[in-house]
Amino acid sequence: MTDVLTEDPGRAPQRLDGPDKVAGTARYAFEQPVDGPRYLHLVQAGIARGRVTGTDTSAAEALPGVHTVLTHENAEKVNAGGELAVLQSPEVAFRGQVIGAVLAETPEIAAQAAGLVEVTYERHPHESTFGVDDHRAQSPDTSSPMVTEDLDQGDVDAALEAAEYTVDVTYATPPEHNNPMEPHATVAVWEDGELTLYDSNQGPYVVRDVLVPIFGLDPERVHVVSPHVGGGFGSKGMPHAHVVATVMAARLTPGRPVKCALTRAQMFPLVGYRPPGFQRVRLGTDATGRLVATEHSALEQSSRLAEYAEQSAGASRDMYVSPNRRITNRVVALDVPVPTWMRAPGEAGGMYALESAVDEMAQACGMDPIEFRVHNEPDTAPTSGRPFSSRNLVTCLRRGAERFGWAERDPRPGVRREGDWLVGTGVAAASFPSFTIPGSVATVGYADGYYRVEIAASDIGTGARTALTQIAAEALEVPLSAVRLHLGSTAQPKASLAGGSSGTASWGTAIVQAARAFRAEHGEHPPEGAETTTKSEPDPEAGKYAMNAYGAQFAEVRVHADTGEVRVPRLLGVFAAGRIVNARTARSQFAGGMTMGLSMALHEHGVVDGRFGHVVNNDFAGYHIAAHADVGSVEVDWIDEHDPHVNPMGTKGIGEVGIVGVAAAIGNAAHHATGVRVRELPLTPEKFLTDG
């Protein structure tokens, strides 16, 4: 079906929802038309740790238009823990925590009244910052399915002792904050015992399944509707406190919907963030530059309210050969907001440290960084010994090198100058696991000449709606125009969340299996009203292979000789990510990830003031994200990869691998430009400025 899948971006189908988004008719959560809404504005803690001793809501309640001021004293008791135990006690676990909420006739009145709520506190000493050798470091709870245990293979210390060349370096990364274009928002409607939520999230069923036990609801009577989501990057993977507060408020006003949208400043403490950390990487090679020892230890921030373990050191588990390997992840629990997933959690930070250290290691061995990586390419996954379902990192590096002009590169650092700018180039590898989550349910039906496909997948701006329609059309062997796909709501059958770059693989598998079952049941000419629903089966090959997407990131960096300003005129990413379903939206995903990597490299830094316990640069003037002028040429390429093992489509996730490795490539290029090795993100001008 040439109109369904094509490698040619120019011929790939355009986003099916593109015209609606351009015209402004695609409705996001807060814009959903509901009758007579009230508005909720959150009240936040002004201390980092302690308890609320008194809340004077009289001034707020006296304001015309205020319906209710919720506090821990009058909020209903719910069955929740961690950040979702909203208004359940007077305890304050971090600055900015929700300690109240004002429900009013307009957003303006609600915000004004929130400012009139007088709160008194009993302050307790708090801890909101940590250091590289922190005595409070502890192992994360490895009983959690999300946490991987430490690894200690061989004898790392002896191997490092005997190694010909070694590096021992520590890289620091700051807090980074997911800031999707659409701020988190939710609209809750209680009517006749039914709860409907118009919510911005990465999985309608995740929201439903989290809320059901909290409020003791019948899952059949909870409906989550999220047709369009303006980005999430992990921060909308799980519902946050504002969703619980909004549902609570809506229960107080049956028949009157409640709308709540977070401000940008509120998003900093309330929707998660990538935790800051320190990563020490020790590498050792033999005389040929072959790695004999790899040690990667990560120490990252968590919250006393609930543990979140970023586990950046995991990036070194399966990347390169090394008979001796030690991987440890530690956390420091502080009186801070709960971190969460942010695009490529673990890999983004972990590969920054590893791929920077590898660049240093290659230099120590006197080897070209690409040749060093090729020289250390494993035949099988080093930790598990499993074969790779496919691994084309070397092809990516080779193709990228050719396209980038790597052969002409002078390896010496700090020797190229064009006008006032020092110029360098760098490379880094990218890797991200290929997840296919079983258990999503899809329905295929036929009526009025169209095939109707239903699955509660999420299009968070990725193009999932378009890609899944293509997959359905291919599986049914019909033109794209014959498929009507419905997603983004619990009105459709249950699907996994848009996370871990698993969406297209997991939902696509469900659709392909349902389409095959539909054809088996109803044939090539289905009767009007024919319908088949199936639940996706686990991949029989899962567990037999190591499954990852790979990439090679190249960067050209310019550092101003007088001021230290860092600019990135050129990025090239070459990826091996299985079959590309839609070349147009895939290119956009990769380029978006790379741009986010550039932003991570140069700009993003949540500044925590330990005295107060909050991020003080909590707006877009203070928390810098790359703007247009920072983004030069971003080229995306991919290799034609056929992986028969990952899933029926042969696809790997592409949402996250694009960010991985970019910060390392830029840092390596900045070193090549200047001879200065900066081991702390972001790469701000002062770090390249010498006081000479």
Q: Can you tell me which of 403, 616, 635, 680 binds another protein, judged by CB under 8 A?
A: 616
Residue 59 binds to another protein (criterion: CB under 8 A):
no
| Closest by Cα among 633, 551, 144, 137 to 351 | 551
The yes or no reply on residue 115 touching another protein (CB under 8 A) is: yes
State the nearest-atom distance from the C-beta of 109 to another protein, in Å.
Answer: 9
Strands (DSSP E) found in 174-323 = 185-191, 194-199, 222-225, 258-261, 277-285, 291-303
Q: Does 108 bind another protein (CB under 8 A)?
A: yes
88 binds another protein (CB under 8 A): no
For residue 97, the Cα-to-chain-centroid distance in whole angstroms is: 22
Q: Is 62 in the site for another protein (CB under 8 A)?
A: no
Return the residue matching tokens 């997948």.
457
Measured CA to CA, the distance from residue 455 to residue 496 in angstroms comes to 10
Kindly tell me which residue out of 522, 567, 570, 677 binds another protein, with binding defined by CB under 8 A.
Answer: 567
What are the backbone angles phi and psi of residue 63, rounded to the nearest 5°? -70, 125
Q: What are phi and psi of 369, to 5 degrees?
A: -65, -30
CB of 657 to another protein, least distance (A): 26
Q: Which is nearer to another protein, 530 or 676 (CB)?
A: 676
Q: 561 and 626 in contact (C-beta within 8 Å)?
A: no
Please give the helix or strand (H or E) that residue 248 lies within, else none: helix 241-251
Residue 607 in the binding site for another protein (CB under 8 A): yes
Q: Which is nearer to another protein, 112 or 170 (CB)?
A: 112
Task: Classify residue 651 by burial, with Cβ atoms within 10 Å: 0-12, 13-18, 19+.
Answer: buried
Q: Which is nearer to another protein, 602 or 654 (CB)?
A: 602
| Token couple for 89 | 């006690």
Residue pair 50/122 in contact (Cβ under 8 Å)? The answer is yes
* 563 is an interface residue for another protein by CB under 8 A: yes
> Are the C-beta atoms of 602 and 537 separated by less than 8 Å?
no
Residues 627-646, one symbol each (x = binds another protein by CB under 8 A, - = not), give xxxx----------------
Region near another protein per CB under 8 A, out of 52-60, 252-260, 477-485, 603-611: 603-611
Return the number of the residue (493 or 682) whose C-beta is nearest another protein: 682
Closer of 61 and 150 to another protein (Cβ): 61
Which neighbouring-strand residues pair with 452?
Answer: 445, 484
Site for another protein in 323-382 (CB under 8 A): none
Under the criterion CB under 8 A, does residue 667 sit at the interface with another protein?
Answer: no
Residue from 46, 82, 323, 387 in contact with another protein (CB under 8 A): 46
For position 685 contacting another protein by CB under 8 A, the verdict is yes
d(CA 14, CA 16): 6
Tell me the residue type at 180.
Answer: P
Write the CB contacts of 412 (distance below 8 Å, at least 6 apart in sequence): none
Of positions 515, 626, 649, 659, contacts another protein by CB under 8 A: 626
How does 125-149 read in b/e, with b if 16+ C-beta sit within 10 Å? ebbbebeeebeebeebeeeeeebbe
Considering only 155-163, 347-355, 408-416, 624-632, which stretch makes contact with another protein by CB under 8 A? 624-632
By annotation, the residues acting in catalysis are 656
Distance CA 480, CA 458 (A): 19
Q: Which 162-191 residues touch another protein, going by CB under 8 A?
A: none
- How far is the CA of 133 from the CAs of 130, 170, 280, in angstroms? 9, 11, 11
Pick 45 or 222: Cβ nearer another protein = 45
Q: How far apart are CB 392 and another protein at their closest, in Å?
A: 34
Question: Which DSSP letter does residue 655 get?
Answer: T
Is 684 among the residues that bind another protein (CB under 8 A)? Answer: yes
* Of 8, 35, 408, 691, the one binding another protein by CB under 8 A: 691
Nearest residue (CB) to another protein, 7 versus 619: 619
Among all chains, which residue has been given the structure tokens 């059949």? 220
* Contact residue for another protein among 418, 448, 528, 562 (CB under 8 A): 562
Nearest-angstrom CA–CA distance, 356 and 366:
15
- Rank residues 543 and 569 by Cβ distance to another protein and give the closer one: 569
Query: Which residue, 381 or 423, has its beta carbon nearer to another protein?
Result: 423
Applying CB under 8 A, among 7, 122, 220, 609 the residue interacting with another protein is 609
Q: Kindly state the smallest distance separating residue 568's Cβ from another protein, in Å.
A: 10
Size of the site for another protein (CB under 8 A): 37
User: Segment contacting another protein (CB under 8 A): 230-238, 329-337, 453-461, 616-624?
Assistant: 616-624
The answer to whether 603 contacts another protein (rule: CB under 8 A) is: yes
Tokens, residue 420:
């006032």
Q: Which helix (H) or strand (E) holds 588?
A: helix 583-602
Using CB atoms within 10 Å of the CB of residue 358, give its burial: 0 to 12 exposed, 13 to 18 middle, 19+ buried.
buried
**b/e 526-538 (16+ beta carbons within 10 angstroms → b):** beeebbbbbebee
Stretch 457-516 residues interacting with another protein (CB under 8 A): none
Q: How far is the CB of 301 from another protein (least distance, A)?
A: 17
In angstroms, what is the minimal distance from the CB of 689 to another protein?
5
Residue placing its CB nearer to another protein in the complex, 4 or 555: 555
- Taking contact as CB under 8 A, which single stretch among the options 72-80, 384-392, 515-523, 564-572 is the one that binds another protein? 564-572
Query: Residues with Cβ < 8 Å from 140, sequence gap 6 or more?
Result: 147, 302, 307, 309, 311, 329, 330, 331
C-beta of 67 vs 603, nearer to another protein: 603
State which of positions 208-247 bind another protein (CB under 8 A).
none
The residue from 369, 488, 564, 593 that contacts another protein (CB under 8 A) is 564
Q: Give the footprint of another protein on this chain (CB under 8 A).
A: 46, 108, 111-112, 115, 420, 562-567, 602-603, 607, 609, 611-612, 616-617, 619, 621-622, 624, 626-630, 682, 684-686, 689-692
